[in-house]
Structure formats: C-alpha cells, structure tokens
Structure 1
Amino acid sequence: MNGWKLVYEEFTPQQEALREALCTLGNGYFASRGAAPESSAGGIHYPGTYIAGCYNRLQTQIAGETIENESLVNAPNWLALTFRIEDGDWFDVGNVNVLSYHQELDIKKAILTRTIRFCDPDGRHTRVDQRRLVSIEHPHLAALETSIHAEDWSGSIEVRSALDGQVVNAGVERYRDLNKRHLNSGTAESIADDTFWLEVETSQSRIRIVQAATTRLWRGEQCITPAPAVDQAEGYIAHHYQTRLDPQQPLRIEKIVALYTSRDHAISESGLEARKSVSEAAAFDALASRHIMVWKQLWQRFDFDIEHDDPEEEEKTERTLRLHILHLIQTTSPHVMDLDVGVPARGLHGEAYRGHIFWDELFVFPLFNLRMPEITRALLCYRYRRLNEARRAAQAAGYRGALYPWQSGSNGREESQRLHLNPKSGNWIPDNSRLQRHINAAMVYNIWQYYQVTRDMEFLSFYGAEMILEIARFWSSFTSYNDESKRYEILNVMGPDEYHDAYPHDRRPGLNNNAYTNLMMVWVLLRALELRDILPSQRFSELCQTLNLSKEEFAHWDEVSRRMIIPFHKDEHDNDIISQFEGYEKLTEFDWQDYRKKYGDIQRLDRILEADDDTPNRYKVSKQADVLMLFYLFSSEELGELFAHLGYPFEYETIPRNIDYYLKRTSHGSTLSRVVNSWVLARSNRPGAWPLFAEALDSDVADIQGGTTSEGIHTGAMAGTVDLIQRCFTGIETRGDVLWLNPSLPEGLSSLTLTIRYRQHVLGFHITPSRVRISTEPCAEKPIKIGIVTDVNEFQPGEVREFQL
C-alpha cells in the first residue's frame, strides 16, 4: 500500500458491492462500476454503467397512488467478458478454488487491475490478469485487457465477449418494488469477426444509447481472432471465440468499446458514430499511454502534499483524499464543459438517490473553483438552463421569481419523491424534503463563490446575475410580515437537518423561521443588491428591463434584509443559542445513552424512531449540521456583519457556544455531518477537528453507514474532506478583491503544500504551524491582493514571499 494505490488481497463476497463502487472508473461522460467482467447482477455483484445526464421516468403504483420517479439509467453492460475451459462451466470466481487474488486501483493512472490464480474442479491451475480503463482523453471510449495463462495444462478455451442491454435499475434494495426496466431493445448486429454493436432506447425520454465493441485475441505478437459464433437475443449480443491454450503462450484478449447517445453534440447518428469511433480506436497500450498522460496533467492541478507526525496516518490520509479527488474528477471531469449535466449526489457510481442533483454542489464546487473553475462554470450553466422551470415552480406555488427543486434531474422539475420506504419498518411514509427551500440560497452561494475566485464578469453578467435576481425575488415574495415581532419571517420550510419536517402533533408539514434558511435569505438579498455596484451599468439596466425590476422592489429587498427574524433561545447555562427553528426549545431532550445501548448504531435515528412508532419531530436531535452550516459557510467576520445588519448582537463566543450545543444533539446520520462539524471545530481552534476529519475521510472507504456506499459514493462528503485540507486548514477565503489566508493546522499536521488558481494566477502554498510561503507563477495578469490573517499584501506574478504566523 502507498499513497496512490487502493489494494485488495483477497476476494470477499460480502465486500464486493462496496469495492465495485470504490473501484468505479469514469471520465465525466460515463462511468462503470468496478464489477468483475464475468459477473452479472445478483447477490454479490452489480455491474453498472451510467451516462451523465441520461435520465428516464417510470410510474409505479404504491399505497394506492401512482408514483413517478426519474432515474439515472443503468446503461448496457459493456464489460461482459468471460471464458470456459474444455466446454466446462463459464468462469466464476465463486466456483473455483482461489489460490491468490489481487485487485488494485491505481489512483494516479485511473486504471483498475486484477490478478487471480485459481484451481478449477479438474485440477488445472490458471492465472488471469486484467486491466481496464475508461478513457479520460476520449470520453466515448473504454477498454478491457484480459490475459489468460495456462500454468500446467493445454486444451481448448472458449471466450465470450458481449454487450448486455437486458440490464435494469436494481442497485438499491429499497427501490426494488418500483418499476425498473428503463431500456427498450433496438438493433444488434455483428459486422465483422471482431466487431459488433448494440442499440437500446430509454422508454420515456427516448434517448438512444449505442455501444460498439471490437474484441481481438492475441498470442504473443500475433492476432489470432477466429471467426466467432454469434449469440443474439433481444437487447443482447455476444461473440464466442474458440481457440487453444498451452503453458508456453498466454492468450491476450483486448476489448475496446465506444459509447454514444442521441444527446451527443457534433454527430450525425449515434450508431454510425460509435462504429466509426471503435474502428479507429487504438490498441489498449496506446489508449492507456494517452489516458495516463492526461491524468498526469490533472494531478498537477489537483494533487497536494501533507506531512503528519504519524507516517501511517499521513499515508492513509493522502491515499483516501486522492481517491476522493479521483472520483470527483471521474464524475465531473473537464468533459462536462461540453455537457448539460449537474453533479449527482452519488456520482456516476450507483443508483442511490436515482442520480439526482441536490445541494451537494455547495461542497463540490470549492474544489473546482480553486483548481479548474471552468468545470464549475459548466455545472452552473446546468442550473441556468433550468431557470425557466424554476420560474414555473415558483409561480405554481404562488410566488414570484425562481424556485429551484431540492432534487433535480433532466429538465429541472422537482424530482423529490413523495413517499419513501423505511427499510427498518417496511413502511412507505410521506417525504417532505421538497420543503428544503434553502437549495435556492445554495445556488446563489455557489454563483457568488465562483465569481469571487474567478472574477468572471461575463458569466455573472449573462447567467449568474439573472439567477441571483430571480432567486432574490422568490425569497422576497416567500416572506411574510409579523406584526407582533415587527419583523419578516419564513414559514413552512425544512432546514438542512432533515430530521424535523413538522411540529409535534401537527399533521401539516413544515417549520417556521429556520435560522439557517432565514439568514441565508438575508445574505442572498444583500448579494442581489450588490449587483447594482458590480455589473456594468448597461447590463444591469438591461436585466432590470428584462425582469421588470423596479426601484421599489429593490427598496423592499433592502427592508426585508434588515428586518428578518432570527430565533434564539436559552441553553441550560442561560446563554443565548441560535434556535434551529422557532419553537425548537420546546422539544424534548433525547436519551442518547439509552438508544445507543438499545440499538448500537443510531446514525439513522429517524428510521429507528419511525419503526418504534415515534418521530424525531418530538426531540432536540439533528441528522446533520443545521445552525452550524452558518459557521461552515461564513467566517466570524462575515457573520458579525450579517447579524449587525439585522440589528442582532453577535460575539465570538456565539460560535463555540452553538457548536457545543448542537454537536451533542447530532446523530451524524449524513456523511456531510462530520465534514461540517470538523470544519467548525477546526476554525474555532479546538481539539476534535482531526478525529472528526478522520471519520469523515472514512465515510465511503469504510462504508460507515453500513451499506450506502455500495449504492454510490457521496460526492459532497468526498469533496468536503478535500476542501477541509484545501480551505479550512489553510483558512482560504475569497471576499471582495482579496484572497484571505488564515492557516490553522490541526494538531499532528506539520505541513501542507498545495497549488491553487485564483483569478488566472497559479499560486503555490507551503504552510507549517509557524509560517507560510507563497509563490506565484509568472503570467501576464494584473497583481492580486492576498491577505495573511489581517494584513493585505499585493503580489506580482512570479513573486515568492514568506510570512511568520
């Protein structure tokens, strides 16, 4: 093991689903799980290939209702390749005596290898070596190489190479009662001894998916591809090759696959394009060489170096962080710059959350803002293209402006389910998560952070500002005035916590004055008002005319931004605490000790309580950070300004006091929870940050939620752990025209080295507990301002300076 390899030294059936997710290979256009090529979906394996933005809708009858769900479609399995010796059984690792097993994901090269030595029931010893890649250079190409070594036998061998379009979406157990067949069969054809292709079509969205495959057999340097027998069925086609194998020369099989859909740009017809692409594709080694070169370029932008007092901790941390970066790039690579796609909360790695896009962008975009902001720009355009759908949603709900959905898919309508299954009780229960209107605030925060890092005035002028203004308009119309408090308020929402969706004993869903939502709304209005000073006057005037924005509307926004209510209550020491929502203090304290003793793992406390005919709505419990999200997103200086703007007192003690209060009332039922809590602990210079960071780092690798990672990685948590290194421990903030740096390395971390991009400048940081060295690469850009703790310094391109902390 080292900082670049994820290695498994034995075949463990009960761990295979997790490994398949963690060993997924992708390129931003599509990704394939790390399932064995000979496997099929069942109790152990789940091959899955997912194409960015390829969604389909199906209806199901549940509890007397017709439920429609849109899902990221499981595309045909291109990996399918296996063999059998002397007309025996097709190779299955579970049906042979495995003598040695080695599976390795090379994180630096994004290549998955597997070596198996086995003895079959007839006593023959065989070794199989495999390599695979999903090309980062050519977004439509993937390749598999298999070498079969007969160690002590000679005889006939049959190889089967297939394209399997008979797949369904069955990767998440709690969805299996729902309709899951998304693909209609189309054309399948063998067009040469080494080439065949398959076309299918999604049943509702009518997206044509085409795969074309070439399979070539080699003995030494000689290609020996024999004429195949063709096996064809509805949605399936395979070539069967018969040849001989002996100990002197292994059989090497190369399978190169091209994948296209009818959504692709610059094509005539997807089948024609796939066949042409695969016919022109290079051999495996040449594809791999170019693939490795592009990944080397990406790692020059995204890698970092840490030094920890514990060498084992250092290696493990670097390896896991790099694994996270790998999967984030595989989900949202530079190829998304030419695609209409968002960031699925579970990557392109599985079917959990049906491939929908949530607020996880809030955690993902900072990584790309400071490394390759062009990716963020493209992903923000996904939201801009759905602005009209957000306008329709606001209008349908009786409001103005734009209301973005909590879950988004193909066209930006609300995809949140109305019923969800509690696997602990077997009950289908109402899902009110669409009330998380704070997604609108996250949208503005993402746009603003991108602009602060890049100063991309073109994007802000022609895309971002329109979204900000329409979202501000929604928030303004969503508020109501309370005559008693003389302040504005927001009613009937859910906060990020997600455990609370209603008041106890109230059948109506929704909570009033969620502090996070209210304060984020104020921040959104202030950013919308600030656009008057940032945008070119002509463009701002055009937007006001286009959107019919008046001076009176801006004046109302200013008033609401100063008069929004933020609820408070007293803790047991009579200290002021920001209330998670109005009435929070009236809830019952929860007996954590008793429930941990009774159930052990209580991360998903909501499911446990529902199965006990109870509800978290009764208790002071949180699934994840809610109030503490404010300390995650904003510095103490920014929060102080916001509270002062509202006329509320804010002192530094407010932060540690609220951290203490809410941390001991949190179950960490979301992988995002430990990221946020580690962040707020680290920035308040307190112990506990690194242990929580280490737990967050293990979220997917160790599958700490007990089975969720196998359904798809958690992009928000993965990005959040990387951002803890990138921004939290460095104290990087982008405010105004200054890049602020205020390092606070956790105990045990002796140095941190990384490279970022800020306004076209490439900056290198080397940080220790006592000093920071900053270097800027030569370029033709104007000087930039970098703030070190409280002092602002102007940096010229090509400058290197060191500061004591």
Structure 2
Amino acid sequence: MTEWTWEYKGYDHADARLRESLCTLGNGYFATRGALAECSADEVHYPGTYAAGVYNRLTSQVAGRQVENEDMVNLPNWLPLRFRLPGEPWLTPDTAAVSDHVVTLHLASGLLERRTRYGLGAGRALLVRQLRFVHMADPHLAGLRTEFTAEGFSGTLETEAAIDGGVTNAGVPRYRDLDGRHLTHVLTGTAAADTVWLRCRTRTSDVRIAFAARLTSPAPVTIGDERSRAVQTTRLELAAGRTVTVDKIVALHTSRDPAISDPLHAAVDRVGRAGDFDALLAPHLTAWEQLWRRAELDVDDEAERVLRLHLFHVLQTLSPHTADLDVGVPARGLHGEAYRGHVFWDELFVLPYLNLHFPEVSRALLHHRHRRLERARTAASDAGRRGAMYPWQSGSDGREETQQLHLNPRSGRWLPDHSHLQHHVGSAIAYNVWQYCEASGDEEFLHTKGAEMLLQISRFWADSAVFDDRLGRYRIKGVVGPDEYHDAYPDAAEPGLDDNAYTNVTATWVLARTLDVLRGLPEPRRRELAERTGLDGGELEQWEDVSRLLHVPFHDGVISQFEGYAELAELDWRGYRRRYGDIRRLDRILEAEGDTVNRYQASKQADVLMLGYLFSPAELQGVFHRLGLSFDERIWRRTVDHYLHRTSHGSTLSGLVHGWVLARARRADAWKFCQEALQADIADIQGGTTGEGIHLGAMAGTLDLVQRGLTGLETRGGALWLDPVPLPELSSYGFTLRYHGHWGVRLRLERGLLEITVPASGRSPIDVHLPDRRTVRVEPGETGRLTLPD
C-alpha cells in the first residue's frame, strides 16, 4: 500500500462486509458498496446502492406492535457481471478455487481495482481484473470494466451482465424482522442493441427510479427477458495469454432530480450519449484532482493514510454535487443501511470541516434544515412548546424518525427507545449556522435563513425552561443528553432527565448568540423578522433572563452530567471488563443481566466533555461567567478526569471527542484516543458495525482534529485565531482551506513555526491572531511566518 491506496490481499469472507463498506465508491449523488460484481447479496456479501435523499416508509409488525420506519432505500443493483465456462457453475470466490485476490482502492482517482485468479483445474486459470468508478464529474454515471485473461487454455467464456431490481433492504441483521421490500412496479426493457433499462418506484414515497446500462463487448450482446432483471449476455472466445475486455456504463436518475421530465428517458438518453470507459475516465480523474487540491492535507505521520481514507469517504458522501440536492448528513454515509440512513446530529462533526473547504456544501446542508423548520415548529407545537423542536433522527421530510423500539441483540428483547428526547440537536443546528457564517462570511444567509433558525431554536429553549423558586434558576426537564445511556432516573415511571449540563450550557450559548445576531441585523430586516415571527421586546428580555439563569448542576467540584447524577451508584468497571472484555455496549450487557445502566455513573460516550469539543477554553469560561457560575481550569481538569474513568466509548465519536479535549489540555494520553478515532472504522472497533456503513461524523471529526483541534483554529470577528497545541506524535502538518472568499489558503505548522500563504486575488488581507496577542496581516500573494510560543 501507498499513502494514496488502500489494499486488501487475499480473500476472506469474514471481512467481506467491512471491505465492501470501506471500498464504497460515490459522488455525493449516489454511492455503491465495494462488493464483487459476480456476487449476489447473501450472508457474506452485500452490494448496496444508495441515492442521497431517497427514502421510503413502511410499517412492520414487531413484538406485537405496529412499527413505522423510514429507510434510505437500497436501489436496484447495477453491478452484476458474472461469468463461467459453458456448462459449469458461475465463478465466485465462495464457490471456486482462488489462487490470488487483491482489491485496491485508488484514493487519488476514485477507482476500485480488483484482480482475482480463479483456478479451473488441470493447470488452467482465469485472471479477472476489474476497474470501477462512480463518476465524480457526471453524478448520474458509473462504469465497470472487466478484463478476462485465459491462462493455460483457450475456449469460450459465458458472461451475464444485469441490473437487478429484486433487491431489498437486508444489510443490517437486527432489522430483518422489519419489512425491507421498498421497491415495486419493476419493469425492464431494451433501448438499443447494446442497452437495457430497468425502472421501478418506491412503495409509499413514490420516488421513480430508472437505470440504463450499455454493454460493450467484442462478442455479440444478447438481451435476456426477465421480469425484475435487465439482462445482457455474451459468449467470449478466449485465447491463452490474450486479454478480452467488457465494459459496462450505467446511468441513474430518479424523480427527485431537477431539470428532467422522466427518469427513464433521462437515464436512457444519458447512457446513450456517454462516451466509452476511457473517455469517461478523463473528466472523472480531473474532478477528483480538483477535489484533492481543495482539500489538500499533508501530515508527517503514518496517520496520513488513514486521514486521507477518511477524507475520501467524506468527499464521496458530501461532494460539490450535494450542493444541488435537498439532503442532510447521513450518519453512516451512503455506505450501508445502519441507522436506516437517517440524519442525526453528525453534521456537528462534519460541517466545521466542510465550512473551510466546501462552504457551498455546508450552506446546502443548512438549507436542508431550514426547509424543515416549519416541521420542527409543528413538532414543538404538538409538544406544547413554542419555537422549533428539531428531531433527533430525520429522513425525507423532517419529522421525528427515531424508532419506537430497538433490539438488544444480546438479550433478543425489543425495548422502548427514548432517544427522541435528545433535543440538544437543535443547539447543534444553531452552532452549525454560526460556525458556517463565521468561516464563510455569508452575512446574507445569517441575516435570513440563519437568523430564522436561530430565533425559533432559541424560542424553544426559552419556552422549555421552567423557573424553580427554590433554586432561583431556570430548569430544562425531561431530556436525554449526548451520553444516550441515561434516558431515565432509576425506577422512574417516565423517561427523561433534568438539567443535562450539556443541554443547558449549549442552550445558554444559543440564546446569547441569537440575541447578538438579532441586535446586529440591519434594522429593516430585524423589523421584518419580528413581524413575521411575532417577536417582541418582552420575549427578548425573557431570553436574556433564561440565558443567565439556567441551572447547571455540580457535585464534588465537578460538572454533573445531570441533576441527580451524583446519587447514582459506581460501576465495577474492572469486574465487567474481566467478565466481558469489550464493554463498549455496556447498556446491552446490563439489560441482558436484568439490570439497567440508568443506575450507574457510566456513560456511553462524551456528554459533559462535549462542551470542550465545541468551545475553546475562553469561550466556555465566558458561557459559565454569563450564568454567574465559577469555572476555571481546575474545575475543567477535575471534570475531565471524572468522566474519563466512567465512559465505555460505545460510540466512534467518543474517542474523537476525548482525544480533542485531552489534546487541548496538553495531556499525554490524548494520542491514545486520537488513534482510536483514526482506527474506528478501518479496524471495526465497534465489532461488526462498519460493515453496515462507515461512521461519517468520526471520519470528518478526525480531519477537523488536525484542522481546528490541534491548531486551536477559530474563525471569529473576521479573523483567524490560532492557538496550536501540537501533539508529539503529530507535530508537523499542513492543509489548505477556503476562508471568506479566499481559495487555497495554506497553513503549515512545523517545529514551532507557523507559515500561512494566501494566494493572489483581489480580496482583502487575512488577519491572524495568536494567543500571545501577536497579530499578523497577510496580503493576497504573500506568505506570513510566525514563531510560535512554547
């Protein structure tokens, strides 16, 4: 392997799902898992294809209840291309002898290459080499080139290429009790002698889907007649040592696409006008070259390979093509069916990276949230609240998609799911609005859609806060924090916790920031907004009051995760590790024992410590100061130590947050958690979850760890603020970013020296501030160099 390739040698069916996820190819519009083209979906392989934003809703009978779920739909499989000797079974690595097998993901070019040598007996072998792309320049196209070389024999090889419409959503074992048949009205046909098509639609959302495939072969192509599969067959004549090539070009359109009249006509037309494999390859390579230039990353450490793989998958899920779509950030990318393709809060970890490279994509993702503002207001109203209550999980239209029940695979029991009480997702959206506008300088968005979202989210928090005369403070009750393990008090009849510290502190920040934004609006716009929303001075006074008097609980000089946390029992961590080894999913272990994690001071992932991820030490201190609470480095250090020893890291985001927080605190054990974040998917540390889809938030977060975490980079007040804390293991690195209209600004930190280069343009200079009060102004076309304080 090189720093630009990801390679798997040998065939291992046990790792097939993991490899298929990590070898997924996509372009922001759709993606296809890295399954072998000759293998169908089974217990080993899962060749899923997913288009961003294509969902369908079905009702299933589960544990005696009717349960409704909306899923990202597994689309017809365009990959199939199988082969065999006449009269013999189809060749696959699971059914035939394989003497050599190498799969190589080429990151620079967005190509997936595989080489397999099938042993045919009597000294004969068939070498199969394939190249695959999902086109980055034309988001509706994909291509598969297959090269067959006979070794030690000559003869006929039968091939069958297909588009398979008989697929279901079956990629996640624990969902298999649910209805996964999302496609209906599957029809196939012929458009030309070398072109077939397949069309279908989703059962309830009625999204029309069309594929067209063109097969190029040295032998005549015969069209098959099957109801749910568009089939093309050939009989290739192989000569020993000679290579024969078959190319398959595919086009995909759905009824969600703009500027088309009909998906089938669009797909057939597009594939008919597309060039051959080589002609399509050139613009695809150019598009990838441009992406890598805009997202340049240079790290003098072995971590660079993993970071580049993470960046590759972020760009495949959220590319510039995403800017034209109405889609959110799927937590597991377009790489599998885990979490049903839902949108959670993961954009909190993704947008800070995109803001400084692809701000047009960030803006589109925030537009997606704004389009669902009315739905969030309806949800708040239905709950008896004002403002906007965004859902914890969402899909197509912004309603709450969190499942009512979830399966504990360890006990086999279906249990109530209360994670919809994670209302802090609204604060995450507000944070993303502010961060995007600070990084991009997009005042137009801030003054319009951004201000509207901030206002309605603040209105929800202010209306959720109830004044407690005994405390003399406001309280927010009945929520669940980022930890997720704790969803109720022990033996409580109702779910929810009171005064989750993360929820209340971020609500304070949102209220304060919204007041600042409203005060800074041009007067005509402020008046328009007030008239449209019924905002008056009395409400603003209430926001000011709540933002200064929200209750944040403490115990023993430590920020409490929620009110009553200190009364919970301590867990025998050593004993549980000795008995179970991996206790990341401690909640499932305890439930299977007839116990509940609600009884213990044990967290799934960072909760209170998320505050150190979102806010710089100075900003966090400012929020506590606004609340009239004492907060300093000693309190924070004690808080970090407390939760560090009481977290099972049942989420891939947890290692990332802990590594970030410890790095900022200059702690020696920071790198251990950074490494865990880097290894989360490639080593599948969650035990089989990566095969169901990558963890997009953790991947983007590791990139942002280098970009903002280690540099202390903040975008505020129209300037860049830097407070570097290089880890000994990662002390030299560089990257480019896009800031306030400047393209390709390059930062390099190495051995105590900061270098910033601003490309020539007609824009204003960039001010860079350091913690020792030094400021340097870098003009376009110049390079600034600063010696960093120890």
Instruction: Pick the TM interval, shorter chain.
Output: over 0.9
> 1:470 offset after TM fit, Å?
0.6
281-290 or 521-530: which moved more?
281-290
The answer as to 2:589 corresponding to 1:628 is: no
- 1:135 partner letter: H
- 2:9 partner letter: E
Alignment partner, residue 166 of structure 2 = 166
The answer as to 2:786 corresponding to 1:796 is: no
- 1:240 partner letter: T
- 1:60 partner letter: S
> 1:615 offset after TM fit, Å?
0.6
The answer as to 2:229 corresponding to 1:236 is: yes
The answer as to 2:461 corresponding to 1:475 is: yes
Equivalent pair of 1:87/1:158 in contact (CA under 8 Å): no
> 1:227 offset after TM fit, Å?
4.1
Q: Distance in 1 between matches of 2:362 and 2:469?
A: 42
Alignment partner, residue 15 of structure 1 = 15
- 1:804 partner letter: T
> 1:229 offset after TM fit, Å?
4.3
The answer as to 2:264 corresponding to 1:271 is: yes
Where 1:189 maps in the other structure, the secondary structure is: strand
Structure 1: which 5+ residue stretches go unaligned? 218-223, 308-313, 571-575
The answer as to 2:682 corresponding to 1:701 is: yes
- 1:265 partner letter: P
Equivalent pair of 2:451/2:518 in contact (CA under 8 Å): no
Where 2:73 maps in the other structure, the secondary structure is: strand
Of 594, 603, 610, which aligns to 2:591?
610
The answer as to 2:410 corresponding to 1:424 is: yes
Superposed, which structure 2 residues align to 1:60-459 within 5 Å? 60-121=60-121, 123-217=123-217, 224-233=218-227, 235-307=228-300, 314-315=301-302, 317-459=303-445
Alignment partner, residue 573 of structure 1 = none
> 1:8 offset after TM fit, Å?
0.8
Superposed, which structure 2 residues align to 1:730-741 within 5 Å? 730-741=711-722
Q: Distance in 2 between matches of 1:749 and 1:457?
A: 35
Structure 2: which 5+ residue stretches go unaligned? none
Q: TM-score, normalised by structure 1?
A: 0.97
Moved over 4 A (4+): none
> 1:677 offset after TM fit, Å?
0.2
Where 2:98 maps in the other structure, the secondary structure is: strand
Q: Distance in 1 between matches of 2:730 and 2:253?
A: 46
> 1:243 offset after TM fit, Å?
3.1
Q: Distance in 1 between matches of 2:549 and 2:776?
A: 37
Equivalent pair of 2:219/2:235 in contact (CA under 8 Å): no
Superposed, which structure 2 residues align to 1:31-70 within 5 Å? 31-70=31-70
Alignment partner, residue 771 of structure 1 = 753
- 1:126 partner letter: L
Q: Distance in 1 between matches of 2:255 and 2:332?
A: 24
Q: Distance in 1 between matches of 2:734 and 2:236?
A: 54
Q: Distance in 1 between matches of 2:470 and 2:485?
A: 29
- The alignment of Structure 1 onto Structure 2 pairs a total of residues equal to 786
> 1:800 offset after TM fit, Å?
1.3
Alignment partner, residue 524 of structure 1 = 510
- 1:618 partner letter: R
Where 1:701 maps in the other structure, the secondary structure is: coil
- 2:249 partner letter: I
Q: Distance in 1 between matches of 2:290 and 2:68?
A: 43
Q: Distance in 2 between matches of 1:749 and 1:609?
A: 38
Equivalent pair of 1:231/1:240 in contact (CA under 8 Å): no
Identity of aligned residues (%): 51
Alignment partner, residue 545 of structure 1 = 531
Equivalent pair of 1:386/1:411 in contact (CA under 8 Å): yes
> 1:124 offset after TM fit, Å?
2.3
Alignment partner, residue 644 of structure 1 = 625
Equivalent pair of 1:86/1:155 in contact (CA under 8 Å): no
> 1:140 offset after TM fit, Å?
0.2
**RMSD of aligned residue pairs (Cα, Å):** 1.1
Equivalent pair of 2:499/2:551 in contact (CA under 8 Å): yes
Instruction: Write the deviation string for residues 736-771 of structure 1: whole angstroms up to 9, x where unpaired.
Output: 222111111101324111111111124211112412
Where 2:94 maps in the other structure, the secondary structure is: helix
Q: Distance in 2 between matches of 1:792 and 1:507?
A: 57
Equivalent pair of 1:212/1:257 in contact (CA under 8 Å): yes
Equivalent pair of 1:87/1:157 in contact (CA under 8 Å): no
Q: Distance in 1 between matches of 2:251 and 2:729?
A: 47
> 1:121 offset after TM fit, Å?
4.7
684-693 or 672-681: which moved more?
684-693
- 1:249 partner letter: R
Equivalent pair of 1:740/1:788 in contact (CA under 8 Å): yes
Instruction: Write the deviation string for residues 589-616 of structure 1: whole angstroms up to 9, x where unpaired.
Output: 1100000000000000000000001111
Q: Distance in 2 between matches of 1:416 and 1:192?
A: 45
Q: TM-score, normalised by structure 2?
A: 0.98
Of 734, 756, 764, which aligns to 1:753?
734
Of 640, 650, 661, which aligns to 2:642?
661
Q: Distance in 1 between matches of 2:251 and 2:448?
A: 36
Instruction: Write the deviation string for residues 198-251 of structure 1: whole angstroms up to 9, x where unpaired.
Output: 00110000001100000111xxxxxx3414041312x21211112321115322
224-233 or 585-594: which moved more?
224-233
Q: Distance in 2 between matches of 1:144 and 1:7?
A: 19
> 1:187 offset after TM fit, Å?
2.3
> 1:180 offset after TM fit, Å?
0.6
Instruction: Write the deviation string for residues 714-752 of structure 1: whole angstroms up to 9, x where unpaired.
Output: 001101111111111111012222211111110132411
Q: Distance in 2 between matches of 1:663 and 1:50?
A: 38
Q: Distance in 1 between matches of 2:758 and 2:133?
A: 35
241-250 or 509-518: which moved more?
241-250
> 1:372 offset after TM fit, Å?
1.2
> 1:795 offset after TM fit, Å?
2.8
Equivalent pair of 2:737/2:746 in contact (CA under 8 Å): yes
> 1:534 offset after TM fit, Å?
2.5
The answer as to 2:497 corresponding to 1:511 is: yes
User: Residues 662 and 760 of structure 1: is their aligned pair in 2 closer, same or farther, counting only changes over 3 Å?
Assistant: same
Where 2:332 maps in the other structure, the secondary structure is: coil
Equivalent pair of 1:193/1:226 in contact (CA under 8 Å): no
> 1:99 offset after TM fit, Å?
1.4
Equivalent pair of 1:786/1:793 in contact (CA under 8 Å): yes
> 1:292 offset after TM fit, Å?
1.0
Instruction: Write the deviation string for residues 633-663 of structure 1: whole angstroms up to 9, x where unpaired.
Output: 0011111111111111111212221111101
Q: Distance in 1 between matches of 2:472 and 2:515?
A: 22
Equivalent pair of 1:321/1:697 in contact (CA under 8 Å): yes
Where 1:657 maps in the other structure, the secondary structure is: helix
760-769 or 618-627: which moved more?
760-769
Q: Distance in 1 between matches of 2:267 and 2:146?
A: 23
- 1:129 partner letter: R
Equivalent pair of 2:350/2:700 in contact (CA under 8 Å): yes
> 1:174 offset after TM fit, Å?
0.3
Superposed, which structure 2 residues align to 1:589-608 within 5 Å? 589-608=570-589
Alignment partner, residue 703 of structure 2 = 722
- 1:228 partner letter: T
Of 562, 578, 587, which aligns to 1:581?
562
Q: Distance in 2 between matches of 1:121 and 1:388?
A: 66
- 1:788 partner letter: L
Where 1:82 maps in the other structure, the secondary structure is: strand
